[in-house]
Each structure stands twice: as C-alpha cells, then as structure tokens.
A and B are shown apart, each in its own frame.
Chain A
Amino acid sequence: MTSRIDRISLLAVPGLAYLAVIYALPLLILLAKSIRTPDGISFAEYAAFFSDDYNMGVLLRTLRVAALTTLLALLIAYPTAFAMNRAKGPMLTVFLVAMVLPMSLGVVVKAFAWSILFRANGFINTSLQWIGLTEKPVRMLFTETALVIGAANVFLPFMVLPIYAVVRQLDQRLPEAAASLGATPFFRFFHVTLPLTLPGVVAGSAFTFSMAISMYVIPSLIVGERQQTLSMLIARSFLYLRNEALGSTISAVLLAIAIIVVVFSSWLARRLEARQ
C-alpha cells in the first residue's frame, strides 16, 4: 500500500520539475548573479543601489503606490463583498459580471482606457466641469493619484472575491447571537465579523499588494517616464540602457519584496486558519 501512495506522489514530478527548472532556477540564477562579481561575493551593487537617492525615491514610491492601491481597493471591496452576499437574482448577476468581465480583460486594455479617462479633455474632466466642480480641466494624467485609482480599478476583483468567499461562509447567527447578548454594532464588527473575515482580507490584500508593487503597463500608460517605479526601472535598464547589472540588482530587490509578501501572507493565512 505504501508503495502505491509513493507512486501517486510521483505524478507531481513533471509539473513541479517544470516549474523548478523554467521558473525557480532562473530566478535563483538571477539572485546569485546579482551578488557574484569576478572577485567573489559582493554586495557592492546593492550598496550602490540603496545609497542612490533617486533609486531610494523610486523604491519608496513603488511601495507607497502599492500600499495606497491596496488600501483603496480594500475600502471599496470590503463593503462590496457584503452587498454581494445579500444580492439575489439579477442583482447578483450584475455583481458577478462586474467582477468576471474586467478579470477576463487584459491589463493593456484597461490601462489604456484609464489613460483616455484621465486626459485633460477626457471623460472625467468633462464631467467635473459639467457638474461645475471645476472650471478649468484638472491635471490628472501623470499624477500619482491617477495611478492609484487606475491600479485599484484593475486589481479590485482580486480583492473582492477572496473577501466575498469568506463572507459567504460567515455564519450570520454569530453576529446576531452577539447582538442578543447586548453587543453594540461596533463591538460586533470588531470582535465577531472582522476577525471571521480576516482570512479573506489577508488573501486579497497580499495578492493586490504583490501585483501592485510589480505593475508595469499601468504606470507606463498613466504616469509615464517621469515618475518611475521599480518595474519601469527594470524595463528601462534592460531594454533601453542595456545596463544588465543595474537591472539584475533592481530585479533582485523587487523579487525579495514579492517573496516576503508571499511567505508572510501564507504564514499569516495558516495561523488564522489554525486559530479558527
């Protein structure tokens, strides 16, 4: 019997071996190259990267934009998941279509749409002037606010769906039981509802944040070259500057952040699961 079980484990080998060779190995080589110089292991490239004010500015901007994008997406997604859970019939279909259709659409299409929307003579400016909020067109394209709004729009379904999944399984009787015991709505929210939906929040936030730190097409179309992000620096070092050493170093920094997010969020998810 044991030998049969072992044989079943072997079925995992082709797929995992593929990812090990064509995904993990190239990433490890990239990391190794970034610290290996002709005279041994050296972190000189990293020291040079982190001591450069411009690079630090780009790193901080990337993290700030990703954090704000995640926060905005979470603020919209959390109440939406509850509304979606109460929706029935055609209303539920509307919600589901609004999630799945944008998810099925490429990022080039959506980023391009936002670059039209944010133009000085674009839809948003025309609407703002029409309702009289502003007289002259507001500069929106090429601003960080526009980038955060566009990015939150693109990643929103990936935030709503994990939260919706846990809200749907939430036992409605728990908050009600708390209410019958005299708990105030705020107390119920922070002590019953929020802890129970936290796994969905963690999953959605981790996914959104890791996509937002590495987005490339969205900032290229919405903010352009003037406000670089880490991904744009990587693309520029490889495709235009042909500076592979710099590109590899930034890639390694971005990779390290992404790995920390993946490992930390899976650890957190498992802890939350164990607690329940």
Chain B
Amino acid sequence: MTQTDRIFRVLSWVIGLGCVLFLMLPIVITVAASFTSSPVYTLPPPDWSLRWYQSLDRRSGLWDAVVLSLNLALVSTAISLVLGTLASIGVVRGNFRGREWVATFAVSPLMMPGLVVGVALLQFFREIGLRDAYWSLLLGHIVITLPFVMRTLLASMGAFDFSMIDAARTLGLSYPRAIMKVLVPNLAPAYLTSGLFAFLASMDNYPISIFLTDARNKTLPIKMLQYLEEQPDPSLAAMSSGLILLAVIVLLVGSRTVGLNRMIQG
C-alpha cells in the first residue's frame, strides 16, 4: 500500500464518520428540542420538561390524523403486497417481451414528482366522479406503496429458485398453495423489508395526499405542516419524536428479524 492509498483510506473514514454524524444530527436535535421547557426553540434547552408532550393532548384533530394515517398505511401496504406478489411472479416468470421496461414502469412512481401525481389523481378522480376523500387517499396511497413492494420482490424473486414451486406441485400442492407455502416463507425477509418501507412511505407522504384530503380527512404529515403554520411551538418536536420512536421500533423489528444488512438491500 502506497502513501496515497493510505491518505485515501483515512479520508474515506473521516468523511464516512462525518456522514454518520450529519445523518443523525436532525434526529438528535429534534429529540433534544422536544424536552425543552421553553416555548421557543433554544438549544441547549434552558431546562428539561415534558410539557410539550402533555400539550399534544390539547391539539385538536391530532388523534384523528394519526388514526387515518395508520389506517391508510396498513390497508394500502396489505393490498400492495398481494398485487405486488402476483405482478412480480408474472414479470419474473412470465414469457413476454419488454419485461425490463414493465419492471421499470412498475417501480417508476418512486421517481415521479409526488405533487404532479397528486394533481393528476385529483383531476382524474374529479372526472370519474369519485368525491370520497378516504377512497381517493387509499387509491393514491397504493400508488405510493406498490412500487416499494415491486422493487424488492422483483429483485428477490429474480434470485429465487422456482423449481422449488414445481417440486411442491409434484408433491400435490396447487399453484396458489405452492406460492403461499414455499415462495412467501422463503422470501420472508423481502416481504418484511418492503412491507415496512412501504408502510413508512405511506405514513410520511405529503405531496400526493395534500391534493386528495378534505377538511375532515387530514393525514398526519398534512396536519403537522398545518400546525407548523398556525402555531410553531416545540409540540411539533414532540410529535416528531413520536414518529422517531416509531421509526426506531420499525428498525428494531427489522434488525431482529431480517438483519440491518438485508434491510438496506430492500
């Protein structure tokens, strides 16, 4: 190893550790700011207190927003896991031309501008006469969650040995049962990872939801931005810390079951 190699190596460690600090900074700051006793954001806080957590109780509509967001995230992820499993098998095992472009299309909503998709859906739903906010939101959130599921399942099914399905069928299982008994358990890590990320993406979505909500149905991110405009006190940091706790739980579940290293491949 030459001198230059050593410099490169040290430099990559310095930048790498700097990157870790940079990534953790907003999280640490938010949690620290949520325990302040002061009504404004000063860091370090003059004194520690739980008052902003207690104040969450008095925020009107917060609980409704949490329930709506959880509902949308759970239902849209469940539907996407079913649609995504079928579609991935079709694309990976099917025999038709342009499969690569079909796969690109299925994953493309991840890279499309959310606001534009939201606007397009708003106009489309209006045209077909769909006025119900919950259904509009649900249909929109499946567009958010499905590509997450497809991306992970397409990759892991590409590496799956489908002769195991044929073996199960030789042993007398029907095709759907063979999928449920052999394929799904074998790809459990992929299902868990893609399901978790799809769930979080739906929970966090702002740009698509903003066009599909009405006065009564507001999701959590929309409600949070509204609070931020109306009354920007540290209770927002307390709400954010709640979401950070949720992310930590998801991370713990993920690392205990599939391992962090497999999660990042999702």
Contact = CB atoms under 8 A, between A and B. Distances in A.
A80 interface: yes
B22 to A, nearest CB: 6
A19 B83 CA distance: 10
A153 B23 contact: yes
A100 B23 contact: no
Contact of B143 (A23, A95, A114): A23
A100 B121 contact: no
A8 interface: yes
Nearest to A150: B26
Interface size grouping (class) on chain B? 35 or more
Interface stretch (A38-46, A47-55, A159-167, A194-202): A159-167
A165 B142 contact: no
Contacts of A24: 105
Q: Which of the listed residues B87, B102, B237 has the most CB atoms from chain A within 10 Å of its own CB?
A: B87
B89 interface: yes
B260 A96 contact: yes
A96 B4 contact: no
Interface in A230-276: 231, 234-235, 238-239, 247-248, 251, 254-255, 258, 261-262, 266, 270
A234 B120 CA distance: 12
Contacts of B159: none
A109 interface: yes
B224 A101 contact: no
B109 A108 contact: no
A20 to B, nearest CB: 9
A77 interface: yes
Interface in A10-62: 10-16, 18-19, 22-27, 29-30, 33
Given A5-B95, A29-B123, A113-B240, A106 B204 contact: yes
Chain B interface helix/strand/loop/mixed: helix
Interface in B18-51: 18-20, 22-27, 29-30, 33, 41-43
A100 B254 contact: yes
Q: Which of the listed residues A18, A112, A123 has the most CB atoms from chain B within 10 Å of its own CB?
A: A112
B90 A11 contact: yes
B23 A156 contact: yes
Contacts of A234: 115-116, 119
Given A12-B94, A30-B123, A108-B204, A117 B26 contact: yes
Given A18-B142, A76-B18, A262-B104, A109 B30 contact: yes
Contact of B123 (A22, A33, A99): A33
Interface in A96-137: 96-110, 112-114, 116-117, 119, 121-123, 126
A214 B102 contact: no
A179 B210 CA distance: 55
B189 interface: no
A104 B27 contact: no
Contacts of B83: 14-15, 18
B234 to A, nearest CB: 9
Contacts of B260: 93, 96-97, 100
Q: Which of the listed residues A18, A160, A186 has the most CB atoms from chain B within 10 Å of its own CB?
A: A18
Nearest to B264: A161
Interface string B241-266: 00110011011001000001101110
Given A30-B119, A185-B5, A255 B113 contact: yes
Contacts of B87: 11-12, 14-16
Contact of B94 (A8, A214, A266): A8
A102 B94 contact: no
B171 interface: no
Interface string B153-168: 0000000000000000
B29 to A, nearest CB: 5
B121 A26 contact: yes
B86 interface: yes
Contacts of B142: 18, 22
Nearest to B240: A109
Q: Which of the listed residues B5, B22, B115, B116 has the most CB atoms from chain A within 10 Å of its own CB?
A: B116
Nearest to A184: B4
18 contacts: A10-B94, A18-B83, A27-B116, A29-B123, A30-B119, A82-B16, A95-B16, A95-B20, A101-B251, A107-B206, A160-B19, A165-B265, A210-B113, A211-B111, A214-B115, A221-B228, A231-B207, A251-B120
Interface of A: 2, 5-6, 8-16, 18-19, 22-27, 29-30, 33, 76-77, 79-80, 82-84, 86-87, 92-110, 112-114, 116-117, 119, 121-123, 126, 153, 156-157, 160-161, 164-165, 179, 184-186, 189, 206-207, 210-211, 213-214, 216-217, 220-221, 231, 234-235, 238-239, 247-248, 251, 254-255, 258, 261-262, 266, 270
Given A102-B24, A108-B204, A238-B122, 8 more contacts: A22-B139, A29-B120, A100-B251, A108-B224, A108-B225, A153-B22, A247-B119, A270-B100
